[in-house]
Structures are given as structure tokens and as C-alpha cells.
């Protein structure tokens, strides 16, 4: 194709082009700074509670952000994403308890198992349209939950995996040491978020946005919609399983609640709280939900009602998550300033 | 060269496309006309894989497209735009073009690099300039005017560098003046890009003015094919379509 001469005169008027490379360096920098800050936290505040809080944020944050890759970026509303959180926790716990392998081996093996399960379940689910996708993912969640409950000899049934998960040291890292566990959780969180950010800002991430906006049109520009949906379904499952593994390490066990549908519900809740239009929305939502959970349960036994009211406020009052609201507010202010 | 051979499709008992055979030589510009329900859109949907033909062949340079999926057919070089602009509302014009080029370059699945890719830019830029959308590159598609959305839809098809471009009513929903501007654009694209263009159009003035070749469909069958003059004087066409009160003015 020949270069078009027309329109060259208008070039200086055009806004600067988006450039990919500085954005990526910026994200690497943000990730490093975030990790250093998190790593310094224990030396500034000695509070064990605070570190516990951050570890839980890491587990749920990875889970919720991976759910947003489905909900916010691809338009796949999964009500069963929690099954991979549960699978991660149980897979890892069982691997450590029964096979007695090194932690990195169990980590990779759990991811491999999650991968296989997610491919099978995803292959069935991503063909389905909106509400059916939601229902069938929920059904698989219940299937996995009841399997865990009824397979007592392996999973301990409703008692969960008890007796603690052995955490033998590896490469000088001892995850039975609270500080080591904290640093490892932060590292996993930052790496996980960075990788997901990378996916979201890659050409594949834009393929997902196109599918969300108009899947039919996407197929008419040559995109294999089913394959792209399955890919992100499986990737999101891997990050959710990582969250589950952090949780298993944290509580040194795994419980059926980790695989119950309420976990998926909380994931959706977090996304509504934080907002799905910004990458960090779910992370903000996670922190909000955990703070709410911790404070409200301390104040009243009816914490369900309080949380319900809060979600209603976001859903009906703001009609968007907190980060969506903040970003829009800044955009508006900037717009006014220019005008 | 796009050759349609004995293409048929029925919905229940209704034959929406009935044994249609047509040739679209390379670089031709053809208008498809016909009354409502003549099977024009079905014809396009069959060629692009949105519908699976019951029988018949769709040969693009000798390769049969019948039974292939829309992504496969697009990759073989048949692009289309839609009657109702089919775009990605939340993406900007520039993002839309870049993402479409990525898809065409089989880079829609690339995760290890950042969007946009440098190697996709020139083509996206070129398509935006061709359609006059370059100055609106940072607007999200949802905020564009109706006409610009139609142009963006066409740009989406064109940026893939198709061999054959199918335009389903490029002027649908436009005012008279806007229609002419759009149709001039279509003709300009056809002349510049030297690709095969097939478009559906209701407005007879437009069809007779710009299309060197016309296909008339009626009840899923080909009623007539030929030059504007031949169609204008074809008795079957006059009786079935042009002679009706609706279009009497248009022909006169």
C-alpha cells in the first residue's frame, strides 16, 4: 500500500500518539516501589495484625483482580470463579500434606492441576451466553464444593484439611516464619498484579475488550472469540488459584468455605465496590471489603445487613465502584480546568 | 475473483436464497438491490459465514468459503461492514483500528508485548486517513456521530486489507446529503484501493449513478443482472420492483 500524502499537513494538530514502551517501564517501576513499600511495612509497624491483613489482601486481591479480567475486560460474568480459589487452596494443601514435596513443586503442580480443570470447565462454559455462563459456572462451583464435602477420606469433608500444612524451608525461605510468609505473599501479589496488568494492556487485552463490546464484530475481523475467552478463563483461574494458595499457607489448612459459592459472590462484591473500569479497582475493593468485614463483625453480629447496605449504596447510589467514581471525578475536573 | 455457485438457504419453508450464481470479477463495483425481504442481507450473511449455506459454493480465487467460520472467511480476504454500524463502543477510533490490524496480523493473542505494536501503526493510520477519521482518533466510538460510526465500521473492514469488501447498506439511516457524501466515499475507496466492492443500497438514484454493475434480487432469486441501462429497461425488474409505486419516482 502506498503512503497517503493527504492529511500530512494536519499532523502537528494531532494529539501525541500513545506509546507502548514508557507505559511498561512505568508499571515495572510502580511494581518495584509497591513491593519495597510493602516489604518495609513490618519494620515500620511491628503489628502482626497489620501484616495478617496484608496477607489476606494479597490472597483476595489476586482472586478479585483475576475475576475482573473476566468481568470487566471480557464481559464474562462468572459466578463460579471461587472454585479456582478453593482448588488452589486444596490442591496446594493436599500436595504438601500427602506428597510432602517442596513448596515450589507443590505451587507449580497446583497451577498445572488448575490449568487442566480450567481448560475442561472453560471449554464447556465460554460457549454459553451471559446468564447461562453465569449459571453454569455457578453449577461447577457447587459441584466442586460438594465433591470436597463428600470425599472425606481425601479432603476431610466439612472439617477441612486439618493438622496444618507442612512448610519446609526452601532456598532460605521459611514460610512457617511469619515475616517470610508476609514477604512471599507480597511478592506473589505484586508479581501477579504486574502479570495481569501486562495481559490487560497487551494486544490480547484489547482483543478481550473488543469481545466485551461486540463479540460478533470481533469475529468478523478474524478473532477466534471462543479461543480468546477460553484463554482468559484459564489464565484468570491460575491467578485465582495463586490467591487460594496464599490463603492455604496463611491459615495452614483449607476449608470447604474456600470453594463455596459465597467466595465467588464476594469476588463480585469486591469488583462492585472497587469498580471494574480501572485495573486497580478490584484491589481497592478488596481492601475496602476486608476493612469493612473486620470492623463491622467486631461491632455487630448483623454484619451481613451492614455489608448489604454498603453494596446497595455503591450499586444504586453511585452506580459504579469507588475507583470508577474517583477516575471520573478527576477526568471531569481536568476537563473543566481545560475549558 | 469471487464466484457464487448455486447458493441456497432456506428458513423453514422460506427460500431466502434460492440457487444464486454470480461472478464478481476482481476490482468490480456491484450494487445489490431488491425489495424488502428479497434476501439481500441473507446473501451477505452466507458469503461472510454468519449463516451456513444449505448448498452451493462460494469461491474466492478458487477456494470454497462455504461452511467456514466468519474469522476464517475474513482471513481469506472477505471483509464486511454492517447495516447498523457494528463497532466497539468503548474503544477509541485509534484503538479500534490498531486492534483490528493486530487481529489481521495474527497478533490478537500477543500477551508479552504492549498495545499498540509499532508494526501495526502505519496501516491503522492509513485506514483512518482514508476514511477521514484521523482527526477523531481519540474519540471513543460511542461518542461519534451516526455517519462517523458507519465510516468507522467500514474502516474496520478496510483496515484488514480485504480482497472483497461487502457493504450492507452503507447509507442506511442517513439524510440525503449525508448519503451522497457516503456513497462518494465508497466510490473513492473502490477507485483507490482497487478491490472488489459489493454493496446493498435502497436508493435507486444512487445505485444507477455509481454502480457499473447491478444485481437485482427478488424472493431469494436473481431477477436480473447487468449495467444500469440494462436494469432500467428490464421488464421483469420494472414489473417486480421499479414499477411499484414506491420507486416510480426514483426511476423517473
CB contact (8 A) between residue A219 and residue B161:
no
Choosing from B161, B176, B203, the residue where a domain stops is B161
Give yes or no: residues B110 and B212 share one domain.
no
Residue A232's alpha-carbon distances to A236, A275, B133, B244, in angstroms, are: 6, 19, 32, 54
Contact yes or no for A106/A95 (Cβ under 8 A): yes
Please give the pLDDT value at position A20.
64
Which residues in A lie closer than 8 A to residue B123 (C-beta atoms)? 1
Q: Is B129 on the interface with A (CB under 8 A)?
A: yes
Please give the pLDDT value at position B101.
93
Largest CA distance in chain B: 62
Q: Among A14, A205, A216, whose Cβ lies nearest the Cβ of B134?
A: A14
Which one of B77, B114, B133, B194 makes the best mutation probe of the A interface by having the most chain A beta carbons within 10 Å? B114
C-alpha cell belonging to residue B141 = 466510538
Whole-angstrom distance, CA of residue B3 vs CA of residue A158 = 65
Tell how strand B55-60 and strand B63-64 pair up: antiparallel
| CB within 8 Å of chain B, chain A residues 170-199 | 198-199
Give yes or no: residues B59 and B107 share one domain.
no
Which residues in B lie closer than 8 A to residue A212 (C-beta atoms)? 90
Please give the pLDDT value at position A81.
95
> Computed over its alpha carbons, how large is the radius of gyration of chain B?
18
Whole-angstrom distance, CA of residue A144 vs CA of residue A150 = 10
| CB within 8 Å of chain B, chain A residues 205-264 | 205-207, 209-210, 212-214, 216-225, 227-228, 231
The stretches in chain A having pLDDT less than 70 are 1-21, 335-339
Q: Is A69 on the interface with B (CB under 8 A)?
A: no
Q: Is A71 on the interface with B (CB under 8 A)?
A: no
CB contact (8 A) between residue A15 and residue B138:
yes
- Average pLDDT, integer, range B63-82: 92
Contact yes or no for B127/A7 (Cβ under 8 A): no
Q: Among A23, A198, A207, whose Cβ lies nearest the Cβ of B99?
A: A207
| Among B10, B62, B64, B17, residue whose Cα is nearest residue B40 | B17
Cis omega (within 30 of 0) for bond into B116 = yes
Please give the pLDDT value at position A12.
37
Give residues with Cβ within 8 angstroms of A133, minimum separation 6: A76, A77, A78, A125, A126
Number of structural domains, chain B?
A: 2
Give yes or no: residues B157 and B173 share one domain.
no
Give yes or no: residues B101 and B63 share one domain.
no
Give pLDDT tens digits for A202-251: 999 999 999 999 999 999 999 999 999 999 999 999 999 999 999 999 99
Report if residue B83 sits inside a domain. Answer: no
Give yes or no: residues B134 and B150 share one domain.
yes
C-alpha cell belonging to residue A113 = 492441576
Give yes or no: residues B155 and B185 share one domain.
no
Q: Is B40 on the interface with A (CB under 8 A)?
A: no
C-alpha cell belonging to residue A200 = 490487560
Which one of B88, B157, B163 makes the best mutation probe of the A interface by having the most chain A beta carbons within 10 Å? B88
Please give the pLDDT value at position B239.
78
Report if residue B82 sits inside a domain. Answer: no
B71: distance to nearest CA of chain A, Å? 4
Per-domain boundaries in chain A: 21-259
Listing DSSP states for B72-103 in one string gives: HHHHHTEEEE-SS----TTSBHHHHHHHHHHH
| Residue B196: alpha-carbon gap to chain centroid | 10
Which residues in A lie closer than 8 A to residue B121 (C-beta atoms)? 17
Give pLDDT tens digits for B203-245: 888 888 888 999 998 888 888 898 988 888 888 888 776 655 5
- ipTM value, please give it: 0.87
Choosing from B141, B161, B181, the residue where a domain stops is B161
Choosing from B138, B161, B184, the residue where a domain stops is B161
Whole-angstrom distance, CA of residue B155 vs CA of residue B134 = 11
pLDDT at B11 exceeding the cut of 60: yes
Tell how strand B14-24 and strand B2-11 pair up: antiparallel
Give yes or no: residues B170 and B252 share one domain.
yes
Q: Which residues pair with B216 in a beta bridge?
A: B33, B224
Give yes or no: residues B71 and B173 share one domain.
yes
CB contact (8 A) between residue B129 and residue A7:
yes
CB contact (8 A) between residue A20 and residue B111:
no
CB contact (8 A) between residue A7 and residue B89:
no
Give yes or no: residues B68 and B184 share one domain.
yes
Give yes or no: residues B167 and B252 share one domain.
yes
Q: Return the DSSP state at A17.
A: P
Whole-angstrom distance, CA of residue B73 vs CA of residue A256 = 47
Contact yes or no for A272/A321 (Cβ under 8 A): yes
Q: Is B143 on the interface with A (CB under 8 A)?
A: no
Q: Is B100 on the interface with A (CB under 8 A)?
A: yes
Which residues in A lie closer than 8 A to residue B91 (C-beta atoms)? 206, 209-210, 213
Which one of A10, A196, A206 makes the best mutation probe of the B interface by having the most chain B beta carbons within 10 Å? A206
Contact yes or no for A3/B126 (Cβ under 8 A): yes
A189: distance to nearest CA of chain B, Å? 19
- Average pLDDT, integer, range B240-251: 54
Tell me the percentage of chain B whose pLDDT exceeds 70. 95
Give yes or no: residues B35 and B104 share one domain.
no
Report if residue B224 sits inside a domain. Answer: yes
Closest-approach residue (CA) in chain B for A19? B116
- Average pLDDT, integer, range B108-137: 88
Question: In the sheet that B2-11 helps form, which strands lie side by side, from edge to edge?
Answer: B14-24, B2-11, B55-60, B63-64
Report if residue B143 sits inside a domain. Answer: yes
Q: Is A301 on the interface with B (CB under 8 A)?
A: no
- Predicted TM-score (pTM) of the model is 0.88
Which one of A217, A227, A331 makes the best mutation probe of the B interface by having the most chain B beta carbons within 10 Å? A217
C-alpha cell belonging to residue A192 = 501477579
Q: Which domain holds residue B29?
A: 1-77+163-252
Give yes or no: residues B73 and B172 share one domain.
yes
Q: Which residues pair with B60 in a beta bridge?
A: B2, B63
Amino acid at each position: 500500500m502506498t503512503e497517503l500524502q493527504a492529511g500530512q499537513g494536519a499532523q502537528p494538530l494531532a494529539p501525541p500518539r500513545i506509546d507502548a514502551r514508557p507505559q511498561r517501564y512505568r508499571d515495572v517501576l510502580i511494581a518495584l516501589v509497591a513491593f519495597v513499600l510493602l516489604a518495609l511495612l513490618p519494620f515500620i509497624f511491628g503489628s502482626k495484625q497489620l501484616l495478617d491483613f496484608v496477607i489476606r489482601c494479597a490472597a483476595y486481591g489476586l482472586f478479585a483482580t483475576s475475576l475482573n479480567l473476566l468481568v470487566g475486560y471480557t464481559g464474562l460474568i462468572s459466578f463460579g470463579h471461587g472454585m479456582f480459589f478453593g482448588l488452589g487452596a486444596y490442591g496446594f494443601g493436599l500436595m504438601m500434606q500427602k506428597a510432602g514435596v517442596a513448596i515450589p513443586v507443590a505451587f507449580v503442580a497446583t497451577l498445572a492441576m488448575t490449568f487442566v480443570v480450567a481448560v475442561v470447565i472453560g471449554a464447556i462454559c465460554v460457549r454459553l451466553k451471559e446468564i447461562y455462563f453465569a449459571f453454569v459456572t455457578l453449577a461447577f462451583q457447587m459441584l466442586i464444593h460438594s465433591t470436597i464435602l463428600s470425599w472425606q477420606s481425601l479432603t476431610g469433608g466439612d472439617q477441612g484439611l486439618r493438622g496444618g500444612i507442612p512448610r519446609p524451608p526452601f532456598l532460605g525461605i521459611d514460610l512457617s516464619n511469619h515475616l517470610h510468609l508476609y514477604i512471599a505473599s507480597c511478592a506473589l501479589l505484586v508479581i501477579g498484579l504486574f502479570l495481569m496488568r501486562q495481559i490487560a494492556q497487551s494486544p490480547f487485552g484489547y482483543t478481550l475488550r473488543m469481545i466485551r463490546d461486540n463479540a460478533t464484530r470481533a469475529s468478523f475481523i478474524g478473532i477466534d472469540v471462543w479461543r480468546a475467552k477460553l484463554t482468559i478463563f484459564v489464565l484468570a483461574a491460575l491467578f485465582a488459584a495463586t490467591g487460594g494458595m496464599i490463603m492455604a499457607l496463611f491459615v495452614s489448612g483449607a476449608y470447604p468455605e474456600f470453594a463455596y459459592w459465597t467466595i465467588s459472590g464476594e469476588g463480585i462484591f469486591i469488583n462492585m465496590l472497587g469498580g471494574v473500569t480501572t485495573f486497580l479497582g478490584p484491589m481497592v475493593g478488596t481492601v475496602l471489603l476486608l476493612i469493612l468485614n473486620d470492623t463491622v463483625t467486631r461491632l455487630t453480629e448483623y454484619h451481613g445487613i451492614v455489608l448489604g447496605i454498603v453494596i446497595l449504596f455503591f450499586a444504586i447510589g453511585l452506580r459504579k465502584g469507588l475507583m470508577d467514581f474517583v477516575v471520573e471525578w478527576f477526568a471531569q475536573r481536568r476537563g473543566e480546568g481545560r475549558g | 475473483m469471487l464466484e457464487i455457485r448455486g447458493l441456497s438457504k432456506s428458513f423453514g419453508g422460506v427460500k431466502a436464497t434460492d440457487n444464486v450464481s454470480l461472478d464478481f470479477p476482481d476490482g468490480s463495483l456491484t450494487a445489490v438491490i431488491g425489495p424488502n425481504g428479497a434476501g439481500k442481507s441473507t446473501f451477505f450473511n452466507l458469503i461472510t459465514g454468519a449463516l451456513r449455506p444449505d448448498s452451493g459454493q462460494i469461491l474466492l480465487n478458487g477456494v470454497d468459503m462455504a461452511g467456514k467460520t466468519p474469522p476464517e472467511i475474513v482471513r481469506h480476504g472477505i471483509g464486511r461492514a454492517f447495516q447498523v454500524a457494528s463497532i466497539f463502543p468503548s474503544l477509541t477510533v485509534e484503538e479500534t483500528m490498531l486492534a483490528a490490524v493486530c487481529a489481521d496480523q495474527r497478533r490478537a493473542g500477543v500477551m508479552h508485548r504492549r498495545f499498540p505494536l509499532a508494526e501495526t501503526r502505519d496501516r491503522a493510520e492509513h485506514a483512518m486517513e482514508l476514511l477521514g477519521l484521523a482527526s477523531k482518533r481519540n474519540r471513543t466510538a460511542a461518542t461519534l456521530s451516526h455517519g462517523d460510526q458507519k465510516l468507522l465500521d467500514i474502516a474496520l473492514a478496510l483496515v484488514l486489507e480485504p480482497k472483497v469488501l461487502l457493504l450492507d447498506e452503507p447509507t442506511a439511516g442517513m439524510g440525503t446529503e449525508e448519503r451522497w457524501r457516503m456513497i462518494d466515499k465508497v466510490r473513492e475507496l473502490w477507485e483507490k484501493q482497487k478491490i472488489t466492492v459489493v454493496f446493498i443500497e435502497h436508493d435507486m438514484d444512487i445505485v444507477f449513478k455509481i454502480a457499473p454493475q447491478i444485481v437485482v434480487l427478488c424472493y431469494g432469486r436473481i431477477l436480473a443482472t447487468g449495467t444500469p441501462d440494462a436494469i432500467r429497461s428490464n421488464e421483469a425488474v420494472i414489473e417486480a420492483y421499479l414499477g411499484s409505486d414506491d420507486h416510480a419516482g426514483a426511476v423517473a
